[in-house]
Amino acid sequence: MKAAHHGRKGSPSKRFALLAELRPCPIPPAYVSARACRHSTDIVVPLCREKRREELLLVLQESLGRFEAELQGETALAFTLWDERTPRVYRPKEEERFADVIKQHLVRDLRDRGVIAHREVEIRVRHGRGGLAGERTDIHVDVAEPHSVESRPVRIRAIIEVKGCWHREVLTAMETQLRNRYLRDNDCRHGLYVVGWFLCPQWDTNDSRRAEALRHMPPKIEEANATFEAQARGLSTGGVTLRSVLINASLR
């Protein structure tokens, strides 16, 4: 998978085990005396949680790499994301179904790591007719932080936004939707932007979404991947951390 397999250090198996092997943060002697005076753990713990949240994003990226491997492997399953209109002429399933399949994969693939994934989670409720519209995320992921110093387990969270390559705002929604809406005024500040690449000769030319994809997306999957990765780096400011994954869901 382009977004999940290039430009990262360390072995996939080692990074995949991160959530299972996270150790409590060491507390230096100077902090022990500070804690005795302040009765607080705010000095050290948030830094450790920040690292764990970033590790969660890496684990999600690698899991989606395995998802793409299933789609494009020897027994390719990409066809399950398409509807056959006539022999050898196909249309991608709706974006919502694509997100459903991704969520189910994460649940199955990361169950042993204690990762929980939910679809269409409401993170803001609309209050009254004149209130702002509520917000529902595509996929909301969380995992209990091991060895938490609090009396109750602390949940490490990430929000995933899923887009088909035909979406009119596919090149801008990472900022306008994921960063500026879902991660704004939210204790969850880590997001993953997932785009499905469906461009291939088998796509029905009468499907208006195909024309939209050709209009908005770079011509090559490698260029599209580089575009989204650059966006994620540029938007990772002000306490927000973003990553991107481009999934090759095309037919061969």
pLDDT tier, 153 (very low <50, low <70, confident <90, very high otherwise): low
Separation between Cα atoms, residue 108 and residue 174, nearest integer Å: 26
Residue 106, phi then psi, degrees to nearest 5: -60, -40
Of residues 103, 99, 105, 74, the one with CA closest to residue 167: 99
Q: Check: CB of residue 188 under 8 Å from CB of residue 158.
A: yes
Separation between Cα atoms, residue 115 and residue 109, nearest integer Å: 9
Task: Tell me what the mean pLDDT of segment 36-55 comes to.
Answer: 54
Task: Tell me what the mean pLDDT of segment 49-54 comes to.
Answer: 83
Percent pLDDT > 70 in the chain is 71
The 3 state secondary structure assigned to 186-242 is CCCCEEEEEEEECCCCCECCCCHHHHHHHHHCCCCHHHHHHHHHHHHHHHCCCCCEE
- List, for residues 158-186, the tens digit of each pLDDT value: 999 999 999 999 999 999 999 999 999 88
Q: Is the pLDDT of residue 93 over 70?
A: yes
Total domains in the chain come to 1
Task: Tell me what the mean pLDDT of segment 102-106 comes to.
Answer: 96
pLDDT tier, 151 (very low <50, low <70, confident <90, very high otherwise): low
Separation between Cα atoms, residue 48 and residue 241, nearest integer Å: 15
Task: Tell me what the mean pLDDT of segment 218-237 comes to.
Answer: 98
pTM for this structure?
0.78
pLDDT tier, 150 (very low <50, low <70, confident <90, very high otherwise): low
DSSP letter at 160? E
**How many CA atoms does the CB half-sphere of 171 hold within 13 Å?**
12
Task: Tell me what the mean pLDDT of segment 29-46 comes to.
Answer: 33
Give the count of beta carbons closer than 10 Å to the beta carbon of residue 35. Answer: 15
Least confident of 57-61, 102-106, 136-140, 163-167: 136-140
DSSP letter at 91? E
Separation between Cα atoms, residue 92 and residue 80, nearest integer Å: 9
How much is the pLDDT for 43?
31
- List, for residues 68-90, the tens digit of each pLDDT value: 999 999 999 999 999 999 999 99
- List, for residues 182-212, the tens digit of each pLDDT value: 999 888 999 999 999 999 999 999 999 999 9
pLDDT tier, 57 (very low <50, low <70, confident <90, very high otherwise): very high
Separation between Cα atoms, residue 223 and residue 208, nearest integer Å: 23
Q: Is the pLDDT of residue 14 over 60?
A: no
Domain ranges, residue 56? 2-248
3-class state of residue 112 by DSSP: helix
